[in-house]
């Protein structure tokens, strides 16, 4: 099997990092880039055999790329601390990297994303894509995208693997709101130099986000949990454009 490095970024993830690293214990190397955790994240990661680097916070894409650059192997598996590789997904990864038929044709592989929130699965996946490139050849791929929605960009074909990447997202609604506040600030800053309409964003886009999560992506099937997710998705969009308007007023 080709050697593979698991690359993870962290900040105060003591509650998650142990289980995350256990789920990728089949990897040949564990790399954690931390940006100043005040809990036991670093100690827990090192106890699991991970190489831990402590760096500042330059943004999601740059931080994830730092972890990739610190790895020693060409094939990298990138996770967040609240994500877990299931046994089925592990088997898929080991199969495509077994090396029996030479170098994989694909430059990267999309992993199915399954979100857990408020005690159950979220069919709408918190408004995000259900498939994400997280396993890739770093000679042909890199982290990019606009903050805070970093993504892997690869030069070559992309294929999908069987099995789920479990996302144990926000601990509770309070944690959800706190994280959303940070992400909307970053998103507003990223849109500052665009021509996005604040008025349209405040009046129309939140409702569209609700409909997309609640109806188009099946949130209605999750009952009250799906309704909470849809409302949060709408509020995220609303808050993002309110902050964009405030930034533009301050700039002018």
pLDDT at res. 185? 93
Convert the pLDDT of each residue in 118-155 to its tens digit: 877 777 665 455 789 999 999 999 999 877 778 999 99
pLDDT at res. 199? 96
The mean per-residue pLDDT over the stretch 210-231 comes to: 89
Question: Which residue in this structure is represented by tokens 């256990």?
Answer: 22
Does the model's pTM come out above 0.85? Answer: no
pLDDT tier, 101 (very low <50, low <70, confident <90, very high otherwise): low
- State in words which class domain 4-168 has: alpha beta
Q: Is the pLDDT at 10 greater than 90, yes or no? A: yes
- As to burial, measured by CB atoms within 10 angstroms (0-12 exposed, 13-18 middle, 19+ buried), residue 242 is middle
- Three-state helix/strand/coil letters over 238-250: HHHHHHHHHHHHH
122 or 209, higher pLDDT: 209
Q: Are 83 and 167 in contact (CB under 8 A)?
A: yes
Helix, coil or strand: residue 76: strand
Convert the pLDDT of each residue in 172-182 to its tens digit: 788 889 889 98
Q: Distances from the Cα of 122 to the Cαs of 86, 210, 217, in angstroms? A: 17, 14, 10
Count, residues in the chain:
252
Q: Is the pLDDT at 32 greater than 90, yes or no? A: yes
Q: Provide the percentage of residues in the chain whose pLDDT is more than 70.
A: 96
Convert the pLDDT of each residue in 155-165 to its tens digit: 999 999 999 89
Q: Is the pLDDT at 94 greater than 80, yes or no? A: yes
Question: Which residue in this structure is represented by tokens 């309704």?
Answer: 227
Q: Which two tokens stand for residue 90?
A: 């592990």
- Going from N- to C-terminal start, the domains of the chain cover 4-168, 173-251
How far, in Å, CA of 133 to CA of 80, rounded? 13
pLDDT tier, 196 (very low <50, low <70, confident <90, very high otherwise): very high
């Amino acid at each position: 099997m080709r050697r593979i490095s698991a690359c993870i970024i962290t900040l105060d993830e003591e509650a998650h990092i142990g289980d995350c690293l256990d789920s990728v214990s089949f990897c040949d190397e564990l790399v954690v880039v931390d940006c100043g955790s005040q809990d036991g994240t670093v100690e827990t990661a090192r106890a699991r055999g991970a190489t831990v680097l402590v760096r500042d916070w330059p943004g999601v894409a740059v931080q994830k790329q730092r972890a990739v650059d610190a790895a020693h192997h060409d094939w990298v598996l990138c996770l967040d601390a609240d994500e877990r590789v299931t046994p089925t997904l592990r088997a898929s990864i080991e199969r495509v990297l077994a090396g029996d038929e030479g170098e994989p044709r694909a430059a990267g592989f999309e992993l199915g994303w399954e979100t857990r929130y408020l005690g159950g699965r979220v069919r709408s996946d918190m408004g995000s894509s259900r498939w994400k490139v997280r396993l890739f050849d770093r000679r042909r791929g890199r982290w990019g995208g606009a903050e805070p929605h970093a993504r892997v960009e690869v030069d070559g074909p992309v294929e999908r693997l069987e099995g789920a990447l479990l996302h144990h997202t926000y601990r509770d609604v309070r944690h959800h709101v706190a994280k959303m506040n940070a992400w909307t600030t970053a998103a507003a800053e990223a849109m500052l130099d665009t021509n996005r309409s604040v008025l349209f964003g405040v009046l129309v886009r939140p409702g569209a986000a609700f409909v997309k999560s609640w109806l188009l992506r099946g949130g209605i099937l999750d009952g009250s949990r799906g309704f909470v997710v849809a409302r949060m998705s709408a509020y995220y969009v609303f808050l993002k454009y309110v902050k964009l308007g405030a930034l533009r007023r301050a700039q002018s």
